[in-house]
Amino acid sequence: MAVSGRSFDPTRPPSSVTGGPVVDYSLARRSVLSALRRGHLGTHDVCDAHPELLRAAKNIGETRSTPCPVCSHESIRWVRYVYGEELKRNNGRVVYPAEWLRELVATCDHFTCYLVEVCVDCAWNHLVRAYSAGRRYQAPPAQTERRERG
């Protein structure tokens, strides 16, 4: 089943990441945006950030310099969530501060991190990538990401 990265719900993460330690959602993102341009999707379909996600983006989101693909404002924020049984009460928590992720990597064997892009103006949201992290995988690839254009 194809994973759509649309409409990220922090309380109900997408089903487990398959196909390797990193799943890149840039293709899915591109197809959503082209469906939007062709009129197969409306802005209400794609600009539907979960209130919790939107709040996290506004308060602690990482500012990005790339414009929003929908409203063109420079209002894109990146938010990370972590999921995993091993995380116990931290399962589903938003990553803040960023250093906390390093702490988790050092203390857990395996969990999944979801990186979501959110526009705080129009509520566009889409998964950027999901990856497995933890002692089993050593350092997360989170700090070296560069390509977010699509």
Residue ranges in contact with Zn ion by CB under 5 A: 68, 70-71, 119, 121-122, 124
Nearer to Zn ion, 120 or 142 (CB): 120
User: If DSSP codes are grouped into helix, strand and coil, which group holds residue 71?
Assistant: coil
Nearer to Zn ion, 75 or 112 (CB): 75
12 vs 44, beta carbon nearer Zn ion: 44
User: Minimum Å distance from CB 46 to Zn ion?
Assistant: 10
CA angle 149, 134, 2 (to 5 degrees): 50
Secondary structure (3-state) at 37: helix
Whose CA is closest to 4, among 130, 132, 131, 146?
130
Among residues 29, 37, 42, the alpha carbon closest in space to that of 3 is found at 29
* Minimum distance from residue 40 beta carbon to Zn ion (Å): 19
- Cβ proximity of 17 and 25 under 8 Å: no
Task: Give the nearest distance from C-beta 23 to Zn ion in angstroms.
Answer: 24
**In the bound complex, what is the minimum distance in angstroms from residue 140's beta carbon to Zn ion?**
27
From CA 88, how far away is CA 122, in angstroms rounded?
Answer: 33
Instruction: Pick the closer one to Zn ion by CB: 46 or 101.
Output: 46
Nearer to Zn ion, 119 or 142 (CB): 119
Contact, 122 vs 17, CB < 8 A?
Answer: no
Nearest approach, Cβ of residue 141 and Zn ion (Å): 26
